Amino acid sequence: MTTEMKGLNLKEINKSYGNVKAVDNVSLDIKSGEFFTLLGPSGCGKTTLLRIIAGLELQDSGLVVLDDEDITIQPAIKRQINTVFQSYALFPHLTIFENIAFGLRSRKIADSEVNKRVNKALEMLEIDSMQKRFPHQLSGGQNQRVALARALVNEPKVLLLDEPMSALDAKLRAQVQVELRRLQQRLGQTFILVTHDQDEALVVSDRIAVMKDGEIVQFGTPEQVYDYPKNKFVAEFLGAANLISGTYHDGRLHTDLGVFEIEDTPSWDKGDVAIRPEWIKMSDIKPEINAIKATVKEIIYRGTNFDIWLDPGPLRVRTSSYKKIKIGDEVWLELGAKEMAVLHE
């Protein structure tokens, strides 16, 4: 086998609760310093996997290796891994300062060092003015920063984030995502995020593992996973997708909508391809290849762009310039040969 690389390696992790397989033979190599995201719907086992990494849950089988050291049987209190919990789980009886200091004090680190490090963390997350207050006196967003500071102050080798933004409103969430990404890049620490929000995953991650029913279905950079979903589940879970089924022969894809060139060569004779609505080009002039003549059925305003539903299909096109188009118009669509992702399973 290959030599170990620095970072976190999971090897064939299995975990069942009764008859339910929460984590099914998962192996992952997470590089040191990367922002990694476990993305999946609720109940897909992503949180269980995170808890196994944290040491809060023991897997039935498999190894957890951190920087070449086997930490499989180390309990949470021994692992240099800290967690930001979904509920934040701040200590309600301690001030913000003492909340952040908790992990240092429990390891009997000298007071002067504790003060120095906590103050640094307070400053980094811009919450120094709240250090004497209690968690119940802070807003959700502020408490989230405290939870982040409380974990980061320990300078963990890996920071785990369990749906940390699920309690924030949409606007704040978008802002925090960007901040989180910047923070991670500045610190160069390994972050592992668990989320069911595909936008969040795309914004923050270096790499994404999409999970379903305890298994990792796809693994790659946000671009790879979004633009070239491996199967129907990934295509539909990560945003909108037009699914087109057809047969592949003579080097072309034959569908009800027409015969198309595709760049990828499918391994099947009969199957599906996916194309994101924003990749479909729409024009008045007939394109040279992969052209479809379609009628506009419905236009949905989405603020920054428009979803246009067309017949045949139903095909969906997402565009920011619809102005010339109205319902009933006939338009030409081009399904780019490169943009069509071949789906498997």
Partner 1 sequence: MKKITLIVNIAAISTMAFLYLPLVAVAFFSVNNTKYGLIWKGFTLDWYTKLFQNELILHAAWNTLVLAVVSTVVSTFLGTILAIGMDRFPWPKKMNTVLDMILHLPVIIPDIIFAAAMVVAFGFLRSASTLFEPGLLNMIIAHITFQTAFVALVVRSRLVSIGKDVEEAARDLYAGTTYLLWKVTLPLLTPGIVAGAMLAFTLSLDDFVISFFTAGPDSVTLPLYIFAAVRRMVTPQIHALSTIVLLITIVLVISMERFTRKFNVK
Nearest distance in Å: CB 306, partner 1: 43
CA triple 212-205-226, angle to 5 deg: 60
**Which residue, 72 or 218, has its beta carbon nearer to partner 1?**
72
Q: Which residue has the tokens 């009764």?
A: 18
- List interacting residues with partner 1 (CB under 8 A): 54-56, 75-77, 81-83, 85, 87, 89-93, 102-103, 106-107, 134, 136, 150-151, 154
For residue 25, the minimal CB distance to partner 1 (Å) is 26
Contact 316, 308 (CB under 8 A): yes
**Token pair of 265, please?**
């060569």
Q: Which is nearer to partner 1, 56 or 203 (CB)?
A: 56
Minimum CB distance to partner 1 smaller for 134 or for 219? 134
Per-position DSSP letters for 258-298, written without gaps between them: EEE--SS--S-SEEEEEE-GGG-EEESSPPSSSEEEEEEEE
What's the min distance (Å) between Cβ of 133 and partner 1? Answer: 13
What minimum distance in Å lies between the beta carbon of 76 and partner 1? Answer: 5
DSSP alpha helices (H): ranges in the chain?
Answer: 46-54, 96-105, 111-124, 140-152, 170-187, 198-204, 222-227, 232-237
175: amino acid identity, one letter: Q
**Closer residue to partner 1 (CB): 117 or 207:** 117
Shortest distance, CB of residue 268 to partner 1, whole angstroms? 46
Closer CB to partner 1, 137 or 175, in the complex = 137
Contacts of 36 (CB under 8 A, 6+ apart): 30, 190, 191, 192, 193, 205, 206, 207, 208, 209
Q: Please tell me the distance from the alpha carbon of residue 200 to that of residue 183, in angstroms, as a whole number.
A: 15
Helix (H, G, I), strand (E, B) or coil at 14: strand
Nearest distance, CB of residue 92 and partner 1, angstroms: 7
Q: Name which of 136 and 186 has its Cβ closer to partner 1.
A: 136
Name which of 153 and 335 has its Cβ closer to partner 1.
Answer: 153
In sequence order, the β-bridge partners of residue 36 are 192, 207
Q: Smallest distance from the beta carbon of 79 to partner 1, in angstroms?
A: 8
Distance CA 130, CA 145 (A): 11
Residue with tokens 């699914």: 243
